[in-house]
């Protein structure tokens, strides 16, 4: 009863709860929040100092007793209490201008397709504890496909690859359900780790994750470029311990991340092999779609198309496709109820 009353003054939201970034879609308004999934904690007091963009600015610049961490690893909750605090922060931020003293919104959250029942329950409980009135979960590849406006409810194959920060989800969707799917813990963060390892082993230079991310964005590619790129990279020389700058090429970065890219393509081929023959026939006349931040790696669509001999396209605005899909389902809940992971149990006040 109280939940329904407070729900009258709440804004229903869709959340792409990502390893790297969290995007929040507000019903009727679109995506209002896009902030890093990062939390800064004071270990002396146990209190949360900053969340989101403010916490990101603290990375690598804090004393030992302040820990800046990501409460989600590979798309799943690794720290329940911190995730709860982060969700509460985003819910309160959405309602800060609406004079709602106790917001109780309905929430649709995108989760990786390969998570366990325990991992799903952790997300659900964290959202309820953060103040949600009802929590709906949906698989991220389904959300991305809906966000890209693919005809997921038709009896035809829709293949989508959602490459995020912590996980890559591959799914063949038909009739509003997932026919075949794979989820692997290889995505943007793993590519950063590959670059850090390559620099250490091949160049004798130590760089951090932030520098590796910058290298990936500036020089990264999955397929040979017409004009290969070159750029400076600065780090600590492992021999002398002093700062050092080298010139790195896009060919070298491509070599560093090639194994991880190959693993994603092998899983895509395995997913297609598991698809019923009738749906595979549809793929000859349809494209495979890429979404998520990882899909923006130069030449990735060309490499995948070359490997599977099918057309590959990047969806419009791939960074927001999951959040847009969650929001679209939120606004058409009765029509898309079948695509949800499970029906919600209303939270008790």
Binding residues for ATP: 19-21, 165-167, 213-216
Beta strand 21-26 with 13-17 is antiparallel
Give the closest residue to 58 by CA, choosing from 36, 74, 32, 91.
36
Distance CA 68, CA 80 (A): 15
- Spell out where 215-273 has E strands: 230-237, 243-249
Contact status, residue 106 vs residue 330, Cβ threshold 8 Å: yes
Where is the binding site, in residues? 19-21, 165-167, 213-216
Residue with tokens 């390969």: 114
Distance CA 233, CA 246 (A): 6
Contact status, residue 261 vs residue 294, Cβ threshold 8 Å: no
Would the CA dihedral through 31, 103, 43, 73 be positive or negative? Answer: negative
Taking the chain, what is the end-to-end CA distance rounded to the nearest angstrom? 9
Give the closest residue to 126 by CA, choosing from 80, 74, 76, 75.
80
Distance CA 33, CA 23 (A): 5
User: How far does CA 161 lie from the centroid of its chain?
Assistant: 12
Contact status, residue 33 vs residue 23, Cβ threshold 8 Å: yes
Contact status, residue 37 vs residue 86, Cβ threshold 8 Å: yes
Distance CA 72, CA 49 (A): 18
| Strand, coil or helix: 26 | strand
Contact status, residue 23 vs residue 34, Cβ threshold 8 Å: yes
The phi, psi pair for 274, rounded to 5°, reads -85, -5
| Strand, coil or helix: 125 | helix
């Amino acid at each position: 009863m109280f939940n329904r009353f407070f729900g009258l003054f709440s804004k229903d939201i869709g959340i792409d709860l990502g390893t790297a970034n969290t995007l929040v879609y507000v019903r009727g308004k679109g995506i209002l929040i896009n902030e890093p999934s990062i939390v800064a904690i004071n270990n002396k007091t146990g209190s949360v100092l900053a969340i989101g963009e403010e916490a990101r600015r603290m990375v690598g610049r804090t004393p030992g007793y302040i820990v800046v961490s990501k409460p989600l690893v590979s798309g799943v909750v690794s720290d329940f209490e911190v995730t709860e605090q982060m969700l509460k922060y985003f819910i309160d931020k959405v309602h800060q201008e609406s004079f709602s003293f106790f917001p109780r919104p309905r929430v649709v959250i995108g989760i990786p397709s390969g998570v366990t029942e325990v991992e799903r329950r952790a997300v659900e409980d964290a959202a309820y504890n953060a103040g949600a009135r009802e929590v709906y979960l949906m698989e991220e590849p389904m959300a991305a496909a809906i966000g890209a406006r693919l005809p997921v409810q038709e009896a035809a194959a829709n293949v989508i690859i959602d490459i995020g920060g912590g996980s890559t989800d591959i799914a063949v969707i038909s009739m509003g359900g997932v026919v075949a799917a794979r989820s692997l813990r290889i995505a943007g963060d793993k590519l950063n780790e590959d670059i850090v390892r390559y620099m250490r082993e091949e160049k004798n230079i130590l760089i951090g994750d932030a520098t590796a991310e910058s290298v990936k964005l500036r020089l990264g590619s999955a397929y040979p470029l017409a004009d290969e790129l070159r750029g400076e990279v600065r780090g600590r020389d492992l021999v002398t311990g002093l700062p050092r700058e080298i010139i790195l090429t896009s060919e070298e970065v491509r070599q560093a991340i090639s194994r991880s890219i190959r693993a994603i393509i092998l899983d895509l081929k395995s997913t297609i092999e598991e698809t019923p023959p009738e749906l595979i026939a549809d793929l000859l006349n349809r494209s495979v779609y890429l979404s998520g931040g990882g899909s923006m790696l130069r030449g990735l669509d060309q490499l995948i198309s070359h490997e599977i001999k099918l057309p590959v396209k990047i969806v419009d605005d791939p960074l927001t496709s999951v959040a847009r899909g969650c929001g679209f389902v939120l606004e058409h809940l009765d029509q898309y109820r079948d695509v949800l992971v499970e029906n919600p149990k209303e939270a008790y006040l």
